Chains A and B, each alone.
Chain A
Amino acid sequence: MINSYEKAGRGVYTLAVVAVASAACVLFSPVGHLGTQEAPEADAQEAMVASVSMSGHKAALTLGLADGATRSFRLEQGKLYIDGLERGTYEPGGALESAWRELLRSPAVFSAEDLAGALRDWSAPADTDEAAAETLEGALRSVVDLAPVVEMADPPAALAEVSVDGPNGGVSIAPGRLSFGELGEQLDRLRAALNRLGEDAADAHEALALVVHDSYSISTDRTVEGNLALLDGELSLDGTVAGDVLVLDGTLHLMPNASIEGDILQVGGDVQQHGDPRIAGELLSIVPLSPRSAPALAPAPEVRVRPVTRVHVMDHDRGGFFGSIYRNFERAMDGLGITLGWLIGLGLAGVGLVYFQRSRLETVADTARNNLARSFAVGLAGEVLFFPVSLILVVAVITWLLIPFYAAAVALALLGGYLAVAHGVGEIFAARRFRSQLLERLRRSNSYYYVLSGLVLLLTPFALGSVLWVFGGPLSFLRGLTLFAAGLVTWAAVTLGFGAVILTRGGSRTEHARGYASSVPFASSEREDVA
């Protein structure tokens, strides 16, 4: 057996496990059964002893009754068992299981005075697993009412502790009855889990003096000369541990007289302090939380990282010019960002239009400039007629196939017309002479420049309106006016361009573009060349 473990590479600690387990096999046969506390023989007619066993999927209470009988109550994987028989179902991790586990963790269960009262008073939360809760409550009360309760016996420490020789000296096992397979498995789990606490903690399992695997108690007058490991069960520690205490699972109850000269290293289970136990070192733990318990233990907070102006900071009565300046600044930046986005998008479309259809674009632009009123009127008419025409296309049924093309054509005409107007605006801008040397240097004479500069000019009112957000308050009217003007200018440009597109049949007819030569600042040949 030892050789097989060595071949499996479990290391030094496994050797100790095997040695311990072998001894346990001899001393406590049959093996393969996790020990539970038994009712003491003394005062058998008067006593009731509670034994608790909990793991991730199971929470069990065993009562040793005065007449020597035992009663067991267990919630395990969604099923309620009473005396080993399935008596109902419940929602795992639900309110019933939580309340049950809370009861089993409570010190009252281990108090002779409080046990009966705790069981009698316990009630499951309403509206959850009602049938199982009612069955469990009834069964508990029937036991408590029939069984008189006296002092809780303290047999485990005396009953079952096995001392064996491990690789680092003597190791004791308590309460004793444990299969070596399960003991080895749990000690390996402990070793692996301790690694999560760092290098120093990982070595703590090598100096074990006592291993506790089920409910057990260490009295005030006892000293454990080395490290103590709790693998499962309830450990009531009221004595002294000369080393570290390692908690893999179960619950460690630190009673008032407990004294730990090292650290408590917890990788699972629970640690509860009663009174003022003394811990010379540190309580250090890393414990996984179940998905159900995680939000219950610590609800995810609401993290608002975007600063919000609070009323108490600057109330409205004392509003102030910059009362909500941060929020206003944020809005201004949002507005500028949106404007910039439109500029980039339209600019790309304009560049594409110049590259592929410059001649048509210039024709539309010239038409819009030289037949402004007519183009605007036609554009307005086109916009007004858009919906009636759409309605006709819908009603006629057979023309439904045309609707997408019609919509796309109108959209392209609106976009192209707006870009053509931008082109015209840019051209007018380029024709101006500026006193500023900088503006003069910026002036160019090609269609790309016309379109882009025209877009900048057309979108500038939106940018101004956005900037006015910064000042909020009294300038809100001016901001609204600016944005309204910006919208009006945009609509006028779209309408004008739309009309010019219609008049020129998409830039293919040039008769409405006449008059261009007299106003253009550059010769026609130059305009062609630089573009």
Chain B
Amino acid sequence: MNLSRTPGPAHKGGARAVVGGLALLAFIGFRAESLPGQDWTEFRSSRQAHSVSESFALEVVYGVGHLSVEPVEGDLLYDVRMRYDAEQFKPVRQWSLDEGRGQLRVGLTTLDDDGDWINALASGDFDPELSVDLHELGDLDESAGTLELKLGRRLPVDLKLSAGAAATEIALGGVAVSRFELTTAASETELSFNDPNPVRMAEMVIKAGAAEVTAEHLGNARFDSFDLKGGVGDVVLDFTGEWDGSATGSVKMGLGSLELRIPAEIGVWIQKSSVLTSFSAPDLEKIDGGYRSPNWEAAEYRLELELKTAFGAIEVEVVP
């Protein structure tokens, strides 16, 4: 098990490797699920904020179970707890601190086909072609574990979450998030920013495989750019919140429905290209091949969105 406190090698795997790894984790997790006997164990790692002075980067890789993220009051930098079956999984954690910049990578590793423990964080060389049988994964609830992550509000965090077959609830209201990336393979994801982000978020990236994603109050996230890539599933993007700057966004989806909720005070311009997709935007006017809100010219803050979808339905709703 790699619980080294020294800095690990840079993660070289790309998005495909991450998704493949998650799929592998989920796949193996499913197979192991049917094994008799469970050894439930709780892993916890927490650190107070004073140990880091400059910045904090956190990466979580979690395969199967229930993943939750929420803010925490007090002097904590982070507090992560994992409940898992030690017969099948092992916790993996890497912490490094370099000139006030802290970096934590945490997650679970599991057995490969040869019975060896896979270091999910260190190798990143999974076969990206492996896929998950979604129908079979539906039976995982009996043995799924949990990962609870609590984030302090004092230091901006570069947050990267990768979830496999997991039910994911992410509440980041009031947390200073400088960058956010979420990769989810086959999951049900709820993301919310109930309070404004104290800092500007340079980028928000969501990659969803066969997933159902609901993101609420994204206006509070205060991102400069937004990028969502979805495979199969239903996606709800609620851009309400306290905007403090204009932003651009891109949404690419394969199959499924997409619902966009745009606050009335924000000017929005949507460029759409699709194959077999219905599009409903009664509050927008069609102009120059795109769809624009009537207040585009006068709006203080603007959101430019590029939508690319193959099959499904797009619905845009302007909310007061």
Contacts and interface: CB of A to CB of B under 8 A. Distances in A.
Answer whether A and B are interacting partners. yes
Interface string A298-309: 101111111111
Main secondary structure on chain A at its contact with chain B?
A: loop
B210 A307 contact: yes
Contacts of B134: 305-306
A287 B41 contact: yes
B319 to A, nearest CB: 13
Contacts of A321: 278, 313
B45 A284 contact: yes
B256 A326 contact: yes
Interface residues of A, number: 46
A303 B144 contact: yes
A515 to B, nearest CB: 50
26 contacts: A198-B3, A276-B75, A278-B48, A280-B48, A280-B50, A282-B45, A283-B44, A284-B93, A285-B44, A286-B43, A286-B44, A289-B83, A300-B144, A301-B65, A303-B138, A303-B140, A304-B138, A307-B211, A310-B236, A313-B234, A314-B259, A325-B255, A325-B311, A325-B312, A326-B233, A326-B312
Nearest to A321: B278
A287 B42 contact: yes
A174 B309 CA distance: 68
Contacts of A197: 3
Contacts of B83: 289, 294, 297-298
Contacts of A291: 38, 40
A245 to B, nearest CB: 14
A322 interface: yes
Contact of A301 (B38, B132, B144): B144
Interface of B: 1-5, 38-48, 50-51, 64-66, 74-75, 83, 86, 91, 93, 95, 132, 134-135, 137-138, 140-146, 148, 165-167, 186-188, 210-212, 232-234, 236, 255-257, 259, 276-278, 280, 311-313, 315
A307 B4 CA distance: 38
A305 B257 contact: no
Given A279-B48, A322-B278, 7 more contacts: A198-B1, A281-B47, A283-B47, A303-B188, A305-B187, A306-B210, A307-B211
Which of A280, A285, A286, A287: most chain B CB closer than 10 A? A286
B257 A322 contact: yes
A322 B44 contact: no
Given A310-B212, A320-B313, A323-B257, A305 B188 contact: yes
A322 B5 contact: no
Contacts of B256: 307, 325-326
B158 to A, nearest CB: 19
Contacts of B234: 307-310, 313-314, 326
A201 B91 CA distance: 15
A283 B143 CA distance: 27
A201 B43 CA distance: 14
Across the A-B interface, the 5 shortest Cβ-Cβ residue pairs: A198-B3, A301-B66, A294-B40, A307-B233, A289-B40
A255 to B, nearest CB: 16
A318 interface: yes
B170 to A, nearest CB: 14
A301 B141 contact: yes
A291 B38 CA distance: 8
Contacts of B143: 300
B42 A305 contact: no
- Scoring B3, B148, B232 by chain A CB atoms within 10 A of each residue's CB, the highest score goes to B3
A283 B150 CA distance: 14
Given A289-B42, A303-B65, A329 B315 contact: no
B155 to A, nearest CB: 16
B190 to A, nearest CB: 11
A511 interface: no
Contact of B186 (A283, A305, A320): A305
Contacts of A305: 132, 134, 137-138, 140, 165, 186-188, 210
Contacts of A301: 65-66, 141, 144, 146, 167
A199 interface: yes
Contacts of B45: 282-285
A313 B256 CA distance: 10
A287 to B, nearest CB: 5
Contacts of A529: none
